[in-house]
Chain A
Amino acid sequence: MKPPPFAYCRPHSLDEALEFLAEHGDEARPLAGGQSLVPMLNHRLARPTVLVDIGAIGDLQRMDRNESGWRIGATVTQRRVERESTEGCDLLRLAMPFIGHRQIRARGTVGGSIAHADPAAELPAVALTLDATMVAAGLDGQREIPAAEFFAGPYMNSLEEGEILSHVTFPTVPPTTRCSFREFARRKGDFAVAGVAATVDFEDGSVTAASLTAFAVGSNPVRLTGAEAAVAGRHLDEAALIDSAEAAAAEIEPWDDIHGSPQYRRQLVAALLRRALQEVAP
């Protein structure tokens, strides 16, 4: 239950961190808050020989609002997002308290959680729901990756070797957009057995746009396109709630594990989505 040996460095610039990653190839791993990586080291599920601590890189600790949304540096902690206002990005604020416990959020980072791509994690689900943009930095420059293309399976992302997720931009939404974030876990702070994130726009009581996501039910968070279609243009009356919940339960392909059977997870997603839609309904 102690980490295997490795070499450690703590560069002060992103370029330097990228150089270290390039020099050491797949032997090296970036270290952000360490709330997933250090337990994995303790369990020896990960055995990098070089850890590049990106926690001292000033640019990655910045959190700014620009015209497209909140641009959040990879090492901004979840606790900071929870404490500071992210106006126009309510879904992000609503999701934070579900991440582990305060002790985890104090160290855990936005970029770390998203890059780690845990199927049960909250931040990937928020990123997918809001169509967030990931900024991947490499020695040759940076590129943008839409959330829908970023997650590549359980604990897998689409970063190339030598790239670091440097920032995530979460688009802001108008004040009229309603948001809900719900999950079920056996105990406070446990990993979700199933969860749902929702942003919905209305006009005259009818849904004009809905972005609905389920997580902890498969390899990665998944947009509930069937449920979105089921509520499109409708008032969120009982019939619409039933149609969308049934569509969601039918379209997901939940996995089977000790925490819940596929059938149980379908029921959970249906129930959570129903409550989320009831919450956002005008």
Chain B
Amino acid sequence: MTAPKARRVEPSVEVPISLTVNGEAVEAMVPARQLLADFLREELRLTGTHVGCEQGICGACTINLDGEPVRSCIMLAAQVDGSAITTVEGLSSEGLSPLQQAFKDNHGLQCGFCTPGFLMTLSTIDPEEYPGEEGIREAISGNLCRCTGYGGILQAVRTAWDRPQDG
């Protein structure tokens, strides 16, 4: 398969992008220097994606990009041309998703700042391919929570996915 030869596009401080965000087509002209997290929050007003450390450490800005969890604070909006993104707003069309409800019921959050990042990381895991409790701990090791001690978060996952402790 040979892609049609693209015309040379010179470096520019404004970049056109088209992508899908939470199932809806989005077209925008973005500043080259704009971080993806800031594009989502400031242009699309999807403020559920939180900006914490802005250096790829805390995980609060995690989104689902083409099926993988990624940190939107260390990506440029210009880099996501042609991609499909889900943010925490896209997890459920009405009310809370089962995992969100389980977070609420099991003290999976206190202040809630980190919660969208946890939810988005966990949303990229298929509950049918449950990686075990160790696998869940591994998966969420890239998200920092300073309130819960993680116990409530693990309990929320077990509850939502109907898994026994250490199962």
Contacts and interface: CB of A to CB of B under 8 A. Distances in A.
B144 to A, nearest CB: 10
Interface stretch (A50-58, A160-168, A221-229, A251-259): A50-58
A66 to B, nearest CB: 21
Nearest to A100: B142
A278 interface: no
Contacts of A189: 141-142
A269 to B, nearest CB: 24
Given A1-B55, A6-B33, A106 B68 contact: yes
B166 interface: no
B141 A38 contact: no
A235 interface: no
B75 interface: yes
A184 B14 CA distance: 43
B38 A2 contact: yes
A103 B78 contact: no
Contacts of A38: 35, 56, 74-76
Given A35-B56, A104-B142, A189-B141, A7 B9 contact: no
B56 A39 contact: yes
B55 A106 contact: no
Interface in A1-30: 1-13, 16, 20, 24
Nearest to A24: B11
Interface in A241-269: none
B3 interface: yes
Contacts of B6: 11-13
B59 A5 contact: no
Most chain A CB within 10 A, of B15, B38, B62, B74, is at B74
A34 B78 CA distance: 12
A102 B142 contact: yes
Interface residues of A, number: 42
A42 to B, nearest CB: 6
Interface in A99-158: 100-104, 106-107
A62 interface: no
Interface string B9-43: 11111010000000000000001110100100000
B138 interface: yes
Contacts, number: 116
Interface residues of B, number: 37
B55 A8 contact: no
Contact of A35 (B12, B68, B74): B74
B129 to A, nearest CB: 12
B121 interface: yes
B59 A103 contact: yes
Contacts of B69: 102-103, 106
Nearest to A43: B55
A79 interface: yes
A1 B54 contact: yes
Nearest to B144: A187
A42 B9 CA distance: 25
B55 to A, nearest CB: 5
Contact of A7 (B12, B38, B55): B12
Given A3-B35, A51-B32, A8 B15 contact: yes
19 contacts: A1-B54, A8-B12, A8-B13, A8-B15, A9-B10, A9-B12, A11-B9, A35-B56, A38-B56, A39-B55, A42-B74, A51-B32, A51-B76, A101-B59, A102-B121, A103-B59, A103-B69, A103-B121, A107-B68
Interface of B: 3, 5-6, 8-13, 15, 31-33, 35, 38, 54-56, 59, 62, 65, 68-71, 73-76, 78-79, 81, 121, 138-139, 141-142
